[in-house]
Amino acid sequence: MSDLENSNTPSSVLFVCTLNSIRSPMAEGLMKAAFGTDVYVQSCGLEAGELNELMVSVMGEKNIDMSGHCSRSLEDLADTSFDIVIAFTEDATNAVKAVFDDSDTDVETWLTPDPTAGDLNVRAMMDNYRAVRDSISMRIQRKFS
């Protein structure tokens, strides 16, 4: 019996935020780092945004290379099935529920602040990004380990 059969770990997870440029790619990278190829992991946004260099930088601090991340929209993955979808905003939750309405997919909301919110200098913004990364990492460990 594999470790996955003895855990709370699903076989597939989708993380969804607004633009697939900060929160959901962080979660995708953290989940892949924690579970490798044992879990199929994707991320997307309500819309596809651009690669966020600060996200790449703070993930690099944990030796997770996100420089090749390609942003996707929820529409891009609407025909893919997942065991669980985790949304980081209320808007994302509502969109996910509409897309996966007729499926057995579990939908959870992990409200997570936008690290770019407010009038911040780069140092304060980096601290916000780290806090979001670490919060998502802890939630992944609590939920799936």
Q: Using CA of residue 55, residue 66, residue 138, residue 136, what is the dihedral sign?
A: positive
CATH homologous superfamily, domain 8-144:
Response regulator (3.40.50.2300)
User: Given this model, what pLDDT does residue 120 score?
Assistant: 80
**What is the C-alpha to C-alpha distance for residues 96 and 94, in angstroms, rounded to an integer?**
6
> Could you list the pLDDT tens digit for every one of the 145 residues in the chain?
344 444 688 999 999 999 999 999 999 999 999 999 999 999 999 999 999 999 999 999 999 999 999 999 999 998 999 999 999 999 999 999 999 988 899 999 999 999 998 878 989 999 999 999 999 999 999 999 8
SS3 content of the chain, % helix, strand, coil (to 5): 45, 15, 40
**What is the C-alpha to C-alpha distance for residues 133 and 14, in angstroms, rounded to an integer?**
17
Burial class (CB in 10 A: 0-12, 13-18, 19+), 104: exposed
Choose among 62, 19, 64: nearest CA to 43.
Answer: 19
Q: CB–CB of 24/17 below 8 Å?
A: yes
**What is the C-alpha to C-alpha distance for residues 119 and 115, in angstroms, rounded to an integer?**
11
- The domain limits of the chain are 8-144
Query: Which residues have a Cβ under 8 Å from the Cβ of 105 and sit 6 or more positions away?
Result: 81, 82, 83, 84, 85
